[in-house]
Amino acid sequence: DADVTQTPRNRITKTGKRIMLECSQTKGHDRMYWYRQDPGLGLRLIYYSFDVKDINKGEISDGYSVSRQAQAKFSLSLESAIPNQTALYFCATSGGSVDTQYFGPGTRLTVL
């Protein structure tokens, strides 16, 4: 969905490096989410945010941190990347009383 953008789209990094994945949205939604997708495991929630001042841990937050810089921007950081954090990462948004979550195109992260 072009309304939700993620950068970078692909990233290869080394163990121990700090890395930031960024998400921006033009939908005007207040809720933003970070998910991780692994083959055969589906999508698992890492963090979610209701607004700039409200950050919540998801199912698998260990090893990750987030920052909500503005209503439209939500970043995911890996402070010290490890190989088992190799995965597809998706940002999603939702707003108001609408149930739908709108996903970005994903970032493929490889940690060597």
Interacting residues with another protein (CB under 8 A) = 1, 4, 31, 40-45, 48, 50, 56, 58-59, 90, 92, 94, 99-106
Shortest distance in whole angstroms from residue 109 CB to another protein:
15
Shortest distance in whole angstroms from residue 16 CB to another protein:
29
Pick 58 or 63: Cβ nearer another protein: 58
Shortest distance in whole angstroms from residue 29 CB to another protein:
12
Shortest distance in whole angstroms from residue 21 CB to another protein:
13
Rounded to whole angstroms, how far apart are CA atoms 104 and 38? 16
Pick 15 or 100: Cβ nearer another protein: 100
φ and ψ at residue 85, rounded to 5 degrees: -95, 5
Determine whether 32 is exposed, middle or buried from the number of CB atoms within 10 Å of its CB (0-12, 13-18, 19+).
buried
Pick 7 or 15: Cβ nearer another protein: 7
Rounded to whole angstroms, how far apart are CA atoms 44 and 33? 10
Q: Give the residue among 7, 1, 16 at the shortest CA–CA distance from 74.
A: 7
Pick 44 or 73: Cβ nearer another protein: 44
Q: Which amino acid is at 69?
A: Q
